[in-house]
Structure formats: structure tokens, C-alpha cells
Structure 1
Amino acid sequence: MTDTPGWVSPGSSPSDPEDGRAPASAPAAPESPRPEGGAGTSAAPADATAPAPAPAASAAPPYAGAYGQPGAQVPPQQGFAPPPGWGRPPHQQQVGWGQPGWSQPGWGQPGWQPQWGSQPLTPKPGVIPLRPLGVGEILDGAITTSRKHWRTVLPLSLGVAVLTQGTSVAIQWYAQSNDTPGLAAVLLLGVGFLISAVASLVMSALLTMVVSKAILGEPVTAGAAWRAARPQFWRLLGLSLLIALICVGIVVLGLLPALIIGLASDNTSAAAATAVLGLLVAGLVATWMYVRLSLATPALMLEKQGIKAALARSRKLTRDSWWRIFGISVLGVVLTAIIAGLIAAPFTIGAGVASNPFAQLNDPNQPVTLSFLALLLTGVGGVLGATITVPVRAGINVLLYVDQRIRREALDLELARAAGLPEYGGTGWAGQPGQPPTGAA
């Protein structure tokens, strides 16, 4: 990935001639035929009175006629011809059909089966193949990134999860311990929300850089990811606030007619019906707008653009692909929520047992309260679930951005060059032992 949204078309390398023809830059063949015994110069005319020698039975027919003329015959290719795949790494060498080492039997021979639907190999220097991605490949790429780079990903998500869940547990415990929380509870809630939001932004910025390197197969540390993401952090903060204000503003506009009806008359039923209808319409519009702007964060971080340009890029990349992006995003949220729930389930059960749920049987009017141990168990379950699932969710968003650019802008060619694939203009083979891939995302 580069700093600019464009790409450079790969240079085409001339292929080796396989049919023995001269290359285009070679001089044209002479018009007159050349005898076999000649050395490139025209022979003297033969004596008309001399009898013509009888042709030998085993002699090859002369190559008569110029190249491209009727009756012309092309001489066989002379000199050493390298085998197919010569000069390539062993895993890239291919054996021609019918040659020794060909793994499949020839057409029509016993054991031959047609390979219906077979596709050519796609370069895959990192966690995804460099081509338009399917739904399963996007989900698998996000999970593979967390698994391969867990030393960088998990500490980041663990730190953010501890801050978020710790603040939530502290707020709940304070609210239970005080009947009238007052201003202190509101301030604590605001501070906790601010800490969680900032920590989530930092993690989103770092995970975006980690996924961009994982696509190229390059290792990345938390320090390197922070150095790459730090110049864009304040823009990311402004972008996140702007998207949140846009979505909240749409919801407020949807509830505005109900508020006007409630203030102008005492008809509460009409105001309630208008509020429900306005909230439904506003929710749909806010969801549509959020999906249209969902790729602005990776565009801002990876293309090093401003807030306005990132919003424009997101609208361009999501055009005519809204339903696909919406469906994959919802699928990712549902899957990560299920995984987080399964991880937190034992701790939730333990919290229920620690809160003494049978105490309310003696006094039904007694409010259900959670002990500090129950809150602590709930927080631990939430921390573990978020540590595992939040990186996957962030990876899905980045891979959706990459997939849309591959489909619309042929970003796979640029990624292949950045990964060091020589057939795309890069240097070195990505993934080779002792040859780490070069280039920057």
C-alpha cells in the first residue's frame, strides 16, 4: 500500500520465444534462399553444363523460400534452450505437459480426469491472495492476521479491553454503592467513555497498520505500527467525531417532528407514533450513511489523506457495493459477538452464582445487586472476549477496503510489487527463506 490512492501499471517483460522465430528487433531475413553449405554469403552460379548431382536419400530438404513466403521452411532452433522455469525458485518451476515429472497423465490416458473449474495460481505473499476476495477469504484473512501476528495484536487489544472493562466495572460498582450517585457518577461515566474512545481509536489506528503489513507478509512490531500511525492520529480522531456527529444528527432530525408535536399539543399517542416512525426512518438512513463512510478510516490511515478526502474516498469505494459491504460487516459483527459470548459464558455463569440469585426469593422487593466478585468475573470475561474479537473486527474493515480497491483500482498489482514479486516489477521473491519481502504498505 502506498501513500497515494493511485497505482503504477506493471512493466511487461518480454517472454522468451518458444517457436524459434527471430525477435522483432532482429534484422529481417534475406529475400533469396541460402544453400545449406553456405556461410551467410551468396554462392557462385553453378555451371550450366555440369550435370546436376542426384539428391541423397537421407539428405534433408533445403530450406527454400524466404520467411513468410509460400513453401518456406523455418530451420530448427540451434543452440542451448533452457528448460521451462529455468532461473526461477524451485517452488515456481513448472514442468510442461507430457514431460518427465508431469504429475497428471496425458489426455485420454488411463487415470486422466478433467480439472473442471481449475484456476491459475494467485500470488499470496501474506494473509490474503492478491485478487478480488470472497467473504470467506476476508474473514479468514482477519483471523489469520490475529493468529500470525499475535505478539503485536493481542497486547494492543488486551490493553484497550482492560481500560474499557475496568472503567465499566468501576462505574457499576460506584452506582450500586451509592443510592444517589449525583454529579460524581456522571463525571466518572464521562471520563470512562472518553478513555475507552481514545483507547479504541489508538487500537484501530495500530491494527490498520498491522493488517496492511500482514497483507504483504511483512512482520511489524507495535512500535513500528505506532510510528506509522502517529502522524494521522489527530485526523483520525477528528474523522471519528465527524462520523459520529453525522449519524447522531440524522437520528435527532428523525425525532424532531415528534418533539415538535409533543410540545405543540397534548396528544401523546400521536407524538409517540411519530417518534417511533421517525426513529425507524432515521435509523435506516444513519445505517446507510455509516456504511457509506465505513471505509474512511483505512483510507485516512493508509493513503495519508485528510478528513474530507477520506470521506470522499469511502463514498467512492462503497458506491454500488453497499449491500455487499453491509452484509460482510454484519456477518463479522455477529460472528465476533458469538465468539465473545462463548468466551465470556463461564465467567458470566460464575458471576451469577457469586451474586447469590436466590436472595430475592425471600424478599421479592429487594433489588438485584452484583457483588464485587461478580462484577470482577464479568469484567474478566469481557476482557478476554474483546481481546480475541476486536482485532478480527478491525481486520475485516481493513480487508473490505483493500478488496474494494482491488476490484476498482487494480490495487493487487501495486501490492504485488510492494511485496517484491519480480513478475510484477518487484525485487526478490516474497516468503523465501533468507529473503524477507521488501516494500512498504
Structure 2
Amino acid sequence: MGAILGDDTTRYLFNVTQVRTPLPLTRGQKVDFVPMPDSQAAEIFALQSSTPAAWTSQVVNRGGQFDLGRVIQRTFSTIRDNAAIFFGAAAIMVGIPSTLMGIGQTSFVTGYSPTGLLAMGAGWVFYLVGMFMLQGMVVKAAVNSFNGKATSFGQAFDVGVKMFLPLLGVAIIAALGAGLGYLALIVPGVIISVMWSVASSAVVVEKRGVLESLQRSRDLTRGYRWNVFGLMVIYVILSWIIGAAIGALGLATGGSFLDGSPNLWVNVVSGVLVNILSSVVASAGVAALYYELRTVKEGAGPEALAAVFD
């Protein structure tokens, strides 16, 4: 048995079986850990420097090294293998609501429009519902794809419906936490976004509750948060490129928000395409990231990850 003095000055007792670092802990060494009831410490990781725990780059590998390239490759391979499901679902759940919002926006070009306001409101509600259902569908099909299993649209849709409320709950808490963090000094918001980045996958794959999934994401990303942050930057840049490319195509074909433009609908269509592509890439990317983290951190093979759907 040992004891850890927490930042809150509480003494936490621990058993050596909870230490996740290969080398023994030494007196005075800084650690990151999960506080448990009755002042117990679990999931203890040694820190090699004064770097904040949320950003420590130390890795305790069980299944190999974290590979950004592998995550990106898996992202696009599962999009290719499940193109019909992903883009079909995105067209319905993201494309249609985006079109409604676009119609509402165009109606305001010549002045206030109650009908346009109604279309925008309805589109936003349907978009919110559709996005979380799409997340559930993509994670289901992606994890099955990583494990060499096929998924039907109906199977994926069933998961999307069942997981909608937990995914919504995770998104609300994550958005509030990250939002407050960004208002504070930006950096805390980034840390929270990274820390909870795979909570939605934990909901779908492990069927955990909202708070459990957030904690699970915190545990999985610990030691890999710089890697996750780098991946998020790559995906943000990719989204910008997609948006810029489609936007440029719209301008090239005469798209404009000027009053009376005959090509006003070009902007609506281009906006819908950007939303569809971005939502598919983001959802598949989160699934690939979750798979990578479980593989390298826990050594979870295809059988273990596939079992969650059996």
C-alpha cells in the first residue's frame, strides 16, 4: 500500500496493482490518477516532468505505438467500405436539415420571412437529431468494419436510434464543459475537448452511461492527448479544405448571396455538401481514434471490440 497527496491536499491510498507505469513509483514523484470513493486512488500513471497531467505525453503501451497515420488510414478506409451507409445516412440526417436551413436563409435575402424563420428552426432541430443518430450509425458500422464485419443500413440505424439520447447527453455536457473552458482561457477548453473526444464511441461501443462515457474517454486519452490534439488539428484543416474547395466550385458556377442572383441555390447546395462530407469524416475519425486508443492502450483486439455488438 502507498499514499498520494492530491492537489486538494487529500491523502489517497493505493495498491500497487493500480499503478500503470512499468517502473516502481518513487517518493515525491508526480503522478496522475483517478480519485475513487473512500479516498482511494486508481489508474495511476507516473509523470516524468512538471507537465500538467492533462497534457502528459508519457505512454504506457500494451498493444503498440499510437500511430496518427494509421488512424487517418482507418478513417478513410471505413468511409470507402461503408460509403453507401455513411453517405446515405448523412444525406438524410444531415443533408435534408441543412437544405431546410439553407432555404430559410435564402428567404431572408429580400427581407424578413416568417416562413424562412420556420424553415431554419425546423432544419436546426432535425439537424441536431440527425447528427447524433449519424454518430451512432457510423461508429457501429466503422467498428464492425475494423473487425472485418459487414453492417446493414438497418442494423446501423437501429443503433443510431437507441443511442440518440445518451449521445445527446454526452454532447450537451461536453459542449458546456468545453465552452466554459474556452471562455476561461481557451486552453482549458481545448484540453476538455481532447479529453472527452471519444466519449461518444464509448457510449455506442461499450454501452456506458453519459458520465461513465466521459470518464472512460478521459482514461483512454490519458497519455495520448498530444496525439489526439494533433489529429483534431488535421481534421479541422481537412474540413477547411473541403469547405474551401466546394465553396470555390460554387463561386466558379456563379453562386452568390447578392439580391436576385439566379444562382443563389448554388450556395445552398454547396453548404449541404460541406455539411455531409464533414459530418461523415468527423464521425468516422472519432471511431477510428477510439479503436486506436483501445488497441494501443489496452491491447484490445478485434474479438474484444467486436464482442460489444454480439
Counterparts of 1:327-338 in structure 2, within 5 Å, are: 327-338=230-241
Equivalent residue, structure 2, for 1:397: 286
Q: Larger C-alpha radius of gyration, 1 or 2? A: 1
**Greater fraction strand:** 2
Q: CA deviation at 1:302?
A: 0.4
Equivalent residue, structure 2, for 1:217: 148
Task: Return closer, same or farther for 1:190/1:380 CA change in 2, 3 Å cut-off.
Answer: closer
Contact 2:142 2:284 (8 Å CA) reproduced: yes
Mapped to 2, the partners of 1:376 and 1:190 lie a distance apart of: 19
**1:151 is aligned to 2:54:** no
- Please give the per-residue CA displacement for 1:92-131, whole angstroms capped at 9, x wherever unaligned: xxxxxxxxxxxxxxxxxxxxxxxxxxxxxxxxxxxxxx86
TM-score for both structures, normalised by structure 2: 0.71
Code of the residue aligned with 2:290 in structure 1: it is: Y
- Please give the per-residue CA displacement for 1:320-374, whole angstroms capped at 9, x wherever unaligned: 221110111110221233134324422232234xx4xxxxxxxxxxxx7244643
Code of the residue aligned with 2:279 in structure 1: it is: V
Equivalent residue, structure 1, for 2:214: 311
**1:196 is aligned to 2:130:** no
Which sections of structure 2, spanning at least 5 residues, go unmatched?
Answer: 1-62
Counterparts of 1:102-121 in structure 2, within 5 Å, are: none
Equivalent residue, structure 2, for 1:231: 162
Code of the residue aligned with 2:90 in structure 1: it is: S
Equivalent residue, structure 2, for 1:139: 72
Structure 1 SS opposite 2:254? helix
Equivalent residue, structure 2, for 1:377: 266
Q: CA deviation at 1:290?
A: 1.4
Stretch deviating more after TM superposition (154-163 or 207-216) = 154-163
Structure 2 SS opposite 1:177? coil
Equivalent residue, structure 1, for 2:253: 350
Contact 2:95 2:273 (8 Å CA) reproduced: no
- Please give the per-residue CA displacement for 1:24-45, whole angstroms capped at 9, x wherever unaligned: xxxxxxxxxxxxxxxxxxxxxx
**1:173 is aligned to 2:106:** yes
Counterparts of 1:30-429 in structure 2, within 5 Å, are: 132-178=65-111, 180=112, 188-251=119-182, 254=183, 281=185, 283-352=186-255, 355=256, 369-371=258-260, 373-412=262-301, 415-416=302-303
Q: CA deviation at 1:132?
A: 4.7
Which sections of structure 1, spanning at least 5 residues, go unmatched?
Answer: 1-129, 255-277, 356-367, 420-437
Q: CA deviation at 1:145?
A: 1.0
Contact 1:145 1:395 (8 Å CA) reproduced: yes
> RMSD in angstroms over aligned alpha carbons?
2.7
TM-score for both structures, normalised by structure 1: 0.51
Equivalent residue, structure 1, for 2:35: none
Task: Return closer, same or farther for 1:243/1:186 CA change in 2, 3 Å cut-off.
Answer: farther
Code of the residue aligned with 1:405 in structure 2: it is: R
Code of the residue aligned with 2:298 in structure 1: it is: E
Task: Return closer, same or farther for 1:161/1:229 CA change in 2, 3 Å cut-off.
Answer: closer
Code of the residue aligned with 2:133 in structure 1: it is: V
Equivalent residue, structure 2, for 1:59: none
Mapped to 2, the partners of 1:440 and 1:418 lie a distance apart of: 8
Aligned residues: 248
Contact 2:198 2:286 (8 Å CA) reproduced: yes
Structure 1 SS opposite 2:171? helix
Mapped to 2, the partners of 1:175 and 1:199 lie a distance apart of: 25
Mapped to 2, the partners of 1:213 and 1:408 lie a distance apart of: 20
Code of the residue aligned with 1:329 in structure 2: it is: M
Code of the residue aligned with 2:155 in structure 1: it is: A
Q: CA deviation at 1:439?
A: 9.2
Contact 2:137 2:156 (8 Å CA) reproduced: yes
Structure 2 SS opposite 1:411? coil
Mapped to 1, the partners of 2:84 and 2:229 lie a distance apart of: 30
Code of the residue aligned with 1:247 in structure 2: it is: A
Contact 2:105 2:116 (8 Å CA) reproduced: no
Q: CA deviation at 1:216?
A: 0.9
Q: CA deviation at 1:377?
A: 0.7
**Greater fraction helix:** 2
Task: Return closer, same or farther for 1:372/1:169 CA change in 2, 3 Å cut-off.
Answer: farther
Code of the residue aligned with 2:194 in structure 1: it is: V
The percentage of counterpart residues that share the same residue type is: 22
Contact 2:104 2:118 (8 Å CA) reproduced: no
Code of the residue aligned with 2:300 in structure 1: it is: L
Structure 2 SS opposite 1:351? coil
Q: CA deviation at 1:208?
A: 0.8
